[in-house]
Amino acid sequence: MRRWVTCSPVDGWVVDLLGCAPLAVRAVKEAARESAHLSLPEAFAGTYPWEQRRRHSRDAQEGPTAFAEKRRPQWTGA
């Protein structure tokens, strides 16, 4: 049995990332990959399909709702 022990700032960052909404992580990865060669204004002006999906998802509503209710969000990926 393996046990994961956090011992560095990177490990803490990974734990935080794993708690994020999967749609948000996918949208960020897509935007970073697709805009790496663009200038900053061009990247911000770009359209990214996973970001559009994330913006109109139930998860986009769940994050602020969970924050207002002082509870952990329940991500569904929908």
C-alpha 29/C-alpha 46 separation (Å) is 14
Average pLDDT, the chain: 89
| Nearest alpha carbon to residue 51 among 35, 31, 34, 27 | 27
- Of 5 and 61, more confident: 61
Determine contact, residues 56/74, Cβ cutoff 8 Å: no
What is the percent of the chain with per-residue pLDDT over 70, rounded to a whole number? 91
Indicate the pTM of the whole model: 0.74
Give residue 5's pLDDT: 62
The answer on pLDDT for 48 being more than 70 is yes
